[in-house]
Structure 1
């Protein structure tokens, strides 16, 4: 909706994908012009199914409500920094209730978000569908490329993957890393890029550890690097069911993480003691330190996480679920697809 269509380059060129240019007036208040343009786009295209994603697309549900053009599924998968600490904007709550009323179905990837939809947004349980994220587990279980992340002999790697933006709070991870003891020798690797990178690089310099922090940048094939890490660290202020965590699990890594979203429930029981309160940086440091000093524990947790990822989060199951859901929605039998899923 912001005109950035760079992701089209990532799609298989044989896919039949068209981008509709729909002008959007940005602002805090509801725009009548936006509603008219969105309604016109729906009426002119007459889609078989409307899929809208996140808060920024809620208005599409509103313009499809009064005289529906097609079935509608709305997806929510998390919050930006303005709602990262659990604070829900009241105007957004009320607008979701109005725009996404029956028969719209709400799709969420985490149990925490499901609870928010039930308790805060007041969605009926029968209109909420929990579908966990899935990844290509075999891709991340493959042998990584040692040349991608060069390490010194005996050096351990603590790493994380994600867009370098505020709600991911990589500053917390850098501060935590700076407080680790000198032994065993280790390096922090951040895979990803984003608006916070200059500030994070400055923080590493200010803490005197810039020589031990690698900003690896954006990687189109992160599976070549993730498996080289010894400990995966997730320091976010907010998450739901992070794909980077699933990738780390599939790569057989032990995990240290803040207790946000469904993170605790995603990991094996054995690894959950290394999920710490979000704002307890000393506990985060202690968890990383414990794992760095125990190779046997790292291997055991990693093998357990990989088995869990393969068993519960492989993308084939996710794709099959969505396939059934989309077909049922077009046929007007979403509730029937829910029964078949169960």
Structure 2
């Protein structure tokens, strides 16, 4: 309560035209702005931290969000799943929740990749890859197990781009499954566009996602995708690629989807080209920025 009153006094002293808050860590400011309201409020919700990421939506946080994000707040979400949570769980009025999808610089990922960004391929070898922080909710262990269950032909290697607390456990799992020599851990990579175009298949094995930027980047790089059915993934990829988005707990289906792409180069190219076109058409950052420009312009008129 001390924080709320301190925030409210600051808002009254500064008299901003518009309050912008981002995610759970700033949600108190929304409640402070209601004691009584000082200005209009835009809250941006982009997902959940590790404590809530795997479906543990704490009751106290739900009630706090309902109170803090009530009028005069409007809420911006980048995924249809978050939109559903805001409407159905937090019970915010539909007219005050707005879906604006994420966008990326598609041209950055459409350039030819750097042939030295990943270890050299062996003869006839195909590369399955994923990008992300190696932590629990990303469940890269599921991907390692699905990879280990693949038939020996065609030969393949798994590339995990990123780092995190689960790396030692994942390396031990690869050893236990007898695939350690075929699983590559690159560590953090500041410029993933150097490597994405080298992959034959891009994979996601997460327990939870919203609208993953790594997927948009892989699509912009023209990659075919295999994924667990989490967040907005199925809605993001091109129509034909949706058949390779499998139930989250079905590791056999994940293995089967990976194998289907590995044995069919024509299908990989077709899905990759379609995903690239979809990313450029719907998820380029220019589209996103124009939408935000208009949103803030509209708010400026309202507070003028």
For the aligned pair, the TM-score class normalised by the smaller chain equals over 0.9
Cα displacement string for residues 192-212 of structure 1 (whole angstroms, at most 9, x for unaligned residues): 122222222222222222211
Correspondence for 1:340: none
Cα displacement string for residues 252-301 of structure 1 (whole angstroms, at most 9, x for unaligned residues): 10000011111101111110100000010000000001100111110011
CA RMSD of aligned residues (A): 1.8
TM-aligned CA deviation for residue 44 of structure 1: 5.3
Contact residue 40 and residue 303 of structure 2 kept, 8 A = no
Structure 1 CA distance for aligned equivalents of residues 15 and 189 of structure 2: 38
Correspondence for 2:25: 56
1:284-323 correspondence to structure 2 within 5 Å: 284-323=254-293
Farther-moved stretch of structure 1 (67-76 vs 155-164): 67-76
User: Per the alignment, in what secondary structure is the counterpart of residue 209 of structure 2?
Assistant: coil
Query: What is the aligned counterpart of 1:254 among 203, 206, 224?
Result: 224
User: Per the alignment, in what secondary structure is the counterpart of residue 83 of structure 1?
Assistant: coil
TM-aligned CA deviation for residue 69 of structure 1: 3.7
User: Per the alignment, in what secondary structure is the counterpart of residue 216 of structure 1?
Assistant: strand
Q: Which runs of 5+ in 1 are unaligned?
A: 1-31, 335-342
Q: Is 1:96 the counterpart of 2:54 in the alignment? A: no
Query: What is the aligned counterpart of 1:138 among 107, 115, 120?
Result: 107
Instruction: State TM-score, norm by structure 1.
Output: 0.84
Cα displacement string for residues 173-225 of structure 1 (whole angstroms, at most 9, x for unaligned residues): 11111111222111111111222222222222222222111111111111001
Contact residue 79 and residue 238 of structure 1 kept, 8 A = no
Q: CA 1:152/1:262 → structure 2, altered by over 3 Å: closer, same or farther?
A: same
Q: CA 1:303/1:156 → structure 2, altered by over 3 Å: closer, same or farther?
A: same
Query: What is the aligned counterpart of 2:85 among 102, 116, 130?
Result: 116
Q: Is 1:271 the counterpart of 2:225 in the alignment? A: no
Cα displacement string for residues 38-60 of structure 1 (whole angstroms, at most 9, x for unaligned residues): 34554555544322121222111
Instruction: State TM-score, norm by structure 2.
Output: 0.94
Structure 2 CA distance for aligned equivalents of residues 238 and 40 of structure 1: 38
Q: CA 1:254/1:333 → structure 2, altered by over 3 Å: closer, same or farther?
A: farther
User: Per the alignment, in what secondary structure is the counterpart of residue 27 of structure 2?
Assistant: helix
Q: How many residue pairs are counted as aligned between the two chains? A: 303
Correspondence for 1:83: 52
User: Per the alignment, in what secondary structure is the counterpart of residue 331 of structure 1?
Assistant: helix
Cα displacement string for residues 79-110 of structure 1 (whole angstroms, at most 9, x for unaligned residues): 23443444432211111110111110010111
Correspondence for 1:175: 145
Structure 1 CA distance for aligned equivalents of residues 192 and 204 of structure 2: 16
Contact residue 164 and residue 196 of structure 1 kept, 8 A = yes
